[in-house]
Structure 1
Amino acid sequence: MLLTAIVPEEKKESCVDMASATDTIEIRELSDEGDVIRTLFHGIISDIAVKAVRGVYHLEMEAVSHSYRLDVKPKTRSFQNHKMRYEELVQQILSDYAGSDFIDLTFNHASLDQFTVQYQETDWQFLKRMASRFGTVLIPEATADCPKLWVGLSESKSDSLDISNYQVFRSLNPYGQEEEGVTRYSIVTKRYYQLGDRILFKNKPLIVTGATSLLDGGMLTHEYILQAEVDSHWQPICNESIRGASLEGKVIDAAQDKVKLHLNIDDVQTQEDACWFPYSSPYVTGGKTGLYCMPQIGDSVQLYVPNHREEESFVRSSLRQEGNSPKLEQPNEKYWGNPSGKEIKFSGNELRMTAQEEHVFVKLHESEGIELHSQDAIILHADKDIALEADKRFDIRAKEAVYLLSGASSMVLDGDTDIKGGHVTVQGFTKSPVPSSPAGKESTQSGKVFTKARLFRNQLPVEDVVEKLKLSMKSRQ
């Protein structure tokens, strides 16, 4: 609203000095008898100035309706509950403004049914975008003393209007679309209408989409912009500022390849009301398989919005919160691990797979070879063959015992040497030197035992061979 008035010279400065951002103004239409016909405007003073023209002081004042309070501060927050109704969303937005209210002519108890974000938008911009999802607009109640608004156009009865002086014009592609332009009418009348009112003009049902009131020479007139209702279906509004945005949050639930988040932009987020977001894998082939590595509950991640449609957001990366780990000191070393201590390390000359730090691991080193370390058992199993070959020495050591098993044959080395099999062949080519006993008998007896073992080859069962070997050993004692 723009108001111009003449003020006395002695009040020219006080009018400006006394004004504040909380001052309100109300304009009423009065009858000839001084009775109030209606309130034309109620709002907040936004700008005030005094100008002197040829010694006459003119007060110029601008004011906005109380709904302007919704259009001041940009905010960022999310609405994840798909079951939330649009009416509940509007009520939550308006709860920050005392006395605010709205009349819903559009939503009809519809639910959000998608992830919704108010991203760097004022409450007015955000609610306007929500209304555009239904092809309609917000209409502020300019006569209320607090923020009040209409969502959508009313179904009020049409008022017939017959005016000979009018202007017709056509806006071509007002929304940047390819459809035909919109034909509008501009009329001036003393009749009072509100935005959204229906008027039958030139035998056409039209809607008031713009209104300007003018008080000049004591006469109040109104200029209205009219257009057909069929042309009053507004295109959905997009929030282009959210394109490419990344919203940080913490994982509060995970299942399959999806996660639920508590975004940092929200003070409170329950797991029940949170929506599922797909988690982007580092590598997928054929749309089915690849790397499967989901974040843990409590991990910090980024929710990426690839375009202006926030419902297409996905989680694409996890964020490291602690930067003092010694594993971060060497950029050429790569680690891939989980919270339970299982990890794979890649360095310039080593690959290490660890199940328990310094206790269970496999190390593959360029120069040192392969090392398997376990504080418990190591089991090798194959449905077919296991081949172990060494060009020099094959060394098997055990503190307690070594067991070699194959079908019905076996060898046990546990201080004594036990050999079992259907037939046993013992053959030697070089007799290792042994310390000589004082009597010189031990060496001789050892040779006899070995010689006897050769005589039993392919002739006796293994039990007999072992037994005779033991008897021969005892005899030399």
Structure 2
Amino acid sequence: MSTQHNNIEIKGIDFQKILEVEIQQEPNEHAAAHVVGELPTARAQEYIQRADTMQDIVIGTSGGQAVTYFSGYVTSMQIQQQADYSRLIIEAKDASYLLDIRKCSCSYQNTGKSYGDILQQAYGDSGTLQVTGSDQAIGGLILQMDETNWEFTKRMASRFNVPVISDITATKPLIYFGVPDARRTLELTAAAISYGRSEKNFQRVSQNYLAEGNEAMRQDFADISVQSYDYAQIGDKIKLNGKEYVVRKVEAKLVDGLMQMTYALTGEKGFVAPLQKNTNCAGRVLKAQVKAVKRDQIQAHLFEIDSEYDSSGDWWFPYSTAYSSSDGSGWYVMPEKDDYVRIMFPSKNETDGFAASSINSSPPESTRNKSFKAPGGKEILLTDEGIYIMCQHQSIFIDLTQGDGIKIVSSKDIHVSSDANVTLSAEKKLTMLAKEGLTLQVGDSKISMGKEQIVLGAKNVLLS
């Protein structure tokens, strides 16, 4: 069914005469509309003055069999003033454009959630996502890093080498994750047909941009163009010369008073979308707070991009130690719960991210001091004056200083034992002090000194 000039209606703009209408839609792109029409100058000025607000526009037909070709929002507006009227030039994008304005950053650490789950979570109330195939669990960490929701959706879909396609007629963003099911199957009466194939695109995509396990066929890159006055949308099936194709791209243009449709057709698998990597995360370092520790892994709240921590997350970041070897030896120092760490992302794959170092929230005053501290007050402190080993502040510690030598203080027992020999020697004086008693014993022989007496015990005691 063809659409005549006098049936076209532009809702939102009261044109006296419509001069030009062009509409384009293809996968992974916002649908675009170009409209030129005439209206009184005063009326045109009113629209220009409202240009700083989001103006909606609907292009369709009036009459018994109303058809909506395009629904979206004005992105630019120009006025060409003539003698007794004005010409208004409008550029518009479909509703999916609303998802491509604000850049967002967020992490998704619950690997059991599906792609549909996380994308709908990203959209909130701003739009709706429909996964056309079987929805799958994300299976690993996913970062939305300085991406609009539209960009994020395209990157997620590219993991399956499928595009995203917006509903060109929806007043609110409605995004298909993959090719939508055919709404109709049409037998086109074609005015002109052209055939072609892009070998360059086939080689470029198949060699570089296919997700693991996917493959492309040359027929996926067939380029069949057909002109018709019959109306169809992306994903609709078209029967042409005894063969069935799928609409991949739509162009509509007002020509000689009729809406002429130009369709790019392809086979069922002709919607190959190149794999996109997370280029925005490569080389990034994010601060995070440790939420759990297990062996050499941590769970972390990436508070720089996540306002709240998702406690249902099950992703573990490896923690990079200063040194480790394959046999398990090395320098094993893990952060504690609630410590702050740095998460590094060395590549375009966010699952390569790892925790690299902890952040000291209360560093020492002197930058020359080196400290190794464990929970409970245990610490080894290296300063210009000496080495201090502290087990319990002011009660159990060892000080080794250049000025005072070695000082051992303990509020508990001190035990020194050896399977061989223990030697105590001094060039000048050796002092042993005890408030209660002192005992020296070798085998069954001993000398026991108390506060008021000395007891000698042995088989033979010699005094000289």
Question: Structure 1 residue 309 and structure 2 residue 349: aligned?
Answer: yes
Superposed, which structure 2 residues align to 1:227-266 within 5 Å? 227-264=266-303, 265-266=305-306
Given candidates 370, 392, 401, the residue that maps to 2:406 is 370
- Contact 1:262–1:274 (CA under 8 A) maintained in structure 2: no
Q: Secondary structure of the equivalent of 1:418?
A: strand
Q: 1:4 is matched with which residue: 12, 15, 36?
A: 36
SS of aligned partner of 2:106: strand
Q: Is the 8 A contact 1:162 1:202 kept in 2?
A: no
Indicate how the Cα distance of structure 1 residues 241 and 272 shifts in structure 2: closer, same or farther if over 3 A, else same: closer
SS in 2 for 1:296: coil
Judged with a 3 Å threshold, the aligned counterparts in structure 2 of structure 1 residues 419 and 199 are, in CA distance, closer, same or farther, namely farther
Partner in structure 2 of residue 37 of structure 1: 66
Which residue is 1:117 aligned to? 143
| 3-state SS of 2:376 partner | coil
What amino acid maps onto 2:339 in structure 1?
D
Give the C-alpha shift of residue 286 in structure 1.
3.4
Per the alignment, residue 172 of structure 1 pairs with: 200
Tell me if structure 2 keeps the 8 A contact 1:102–1:151. yes
Deviation at 1:2, TM superposition (A): 0.7
Displacement of 1:214 after TM fit? Answer: 0.5
Aligned match of 1:342: 378
Aligned residue among 274, 285, 292 for 2:332: 292
Q: Say if 1:21 and 1:46, in contact at 8 Å, map to a contact too.
A: no
Give deviations 1:315-349, integer Å, cap 9, x for gaps: 111223345xxx32x22211111242111111234
Q: How does 1:66-465 map to 2 (within 5 A)?
A: 66-97=95-126, 100-106=127-133, 108-156=134-182, 159=186, 161=188, 163=190, 164-170=192-198, 172-173=200-201, 178=207, 182-201=221-240, 206-264=245-303, 265-286=305-326, 288-322=328-362, 327-328=364-365, 330-415=366-451, 416-424=453-461, 426=462, 453-454=463-464
Cα deviation for residue 224 of structure 1 reads 2.0
Q: For the residues of structure 2 that align with 1:92 and 1:361, how far apart are their CA atoms?
A: 54
Residue 123 (structure 1) shift: 0.8
Shift of 1:353: 0.8
Aligned residues: 417
In structure 1, the residue corresponding to 2:198 is in which secondary structure?
Answer: strand
Report if aligned partners of 1:258, 1:279 keep a CA contact under 8 Å in 2. yes
Any idea what SS the aligned residue of 2:377 has?
coil
- What SS class does the counterpart of residue 207 from structure 2 fall into? coil
Counterpart Cα distance in 2 of 1:46 and 1:171: 36
> Tell me, which stretches of 5 or more residues in structure 1 are unaligned?
427-452, 455-477
Are residues 105 and 376 of structure 1, via their aligned partners in 2, closer, same or farther at CA, if it must alter by over 3 Å? same
Shift of 1:22: 2.6
Correspondence for 1:457: none
> What amino acid sits opposite 1:13 in the alignment?
Q
- Alpha-carbon deviations, 1:19-65, whole Å to 9, x = none? 453321111134xxx32431111111111111247886321001111
Paired position in structure 2 for 1:15: 47
CA contact (8 A) 2:195 2:225 kept: yes
Of 216-225 and 174-183, more deviation after overlay is shown by 174-183
CA distance in 2, matches of 1:10, 1:109: 52
CA distance, structure 1, for counterparts of residue 232 and residue 262 of structure 2 = 10
Distance 2:50 2:311 in 1: 52
2 CA distance for matches of 1:300 and 1:101? 36
Report the 3-state secondary structure (helix = DSSP H, G, I; strand = E; otherwise coil) of the residue aligned with 1:246: strand
Q: Structure 1 residues 10, 159: CA separation in 2 closer, same or farther (over 3 Å shift)?
A: closer
CA change 1:47–1:423 in 2 (3 A) is same
> Deviations along 1:256-311, whole A, 9 cap, x unmatched?
21111222122322434342211111221336221222212211212211111111
- SS of alignment partner, residue 180 of structure 2: coil
What TM-score do the two structures reach when normalised by structure 2?
Answer: 0.82
Q: Distance in 1 between matches of 2:248 and 2:439?
A: 94
Q: CA deviation at 1:76?
A: 0.7
Task: Report if aligned partners of 1:67, 1:148 keep a CA contact under 8 Å in 2.
Answer: yes
Q: Structure 1 pair 413/125, CA: closer, same or farther in 2 (3 Å)?
A: same
- Which secondary structure does the structure 2 equivalent of 1:127 belong to? helix
Structure 1 range deviating more: 374-383 or 8-17: 8-17
- State how far apart, in whole Å, the 1-side matches of 2:328 and 2:240 are: 61
Q: TM-score, normalised by structure 1?
A: 0.80
- Kept in 1, the 8 Å contact 2:193–2:225? The answer is no
Stretch moving more, 284-293 or 338-347: 284-293
- Partners of 1:19 and 1:345 lie apart in 2 by 66
Q: Secondary structure at the match of 1:209?
A: strand
Deviation at 1:227, TM superposition (A): 3.2
* Contact 2:57–2:72 (Cα < 8 Å) also in 1: yes
Alpha-carbon deviations, 1:110-139, whole Å to 9, x = none? 212111111111111111211122221211
* Alignment partners' CA distance in 2, 1:124 and 1:171: 29
Letter in 1 for 2:97: Y
**Aligned: 1:59 with 2:105:** no
Aligned residues: CA RMSD:
2.6
Alpha-carbon distance between aligned partners in 2 of 1:229 and 1:54, rounded to the nearest angstrom: 53
- The equivalent residue for 1:462 is none
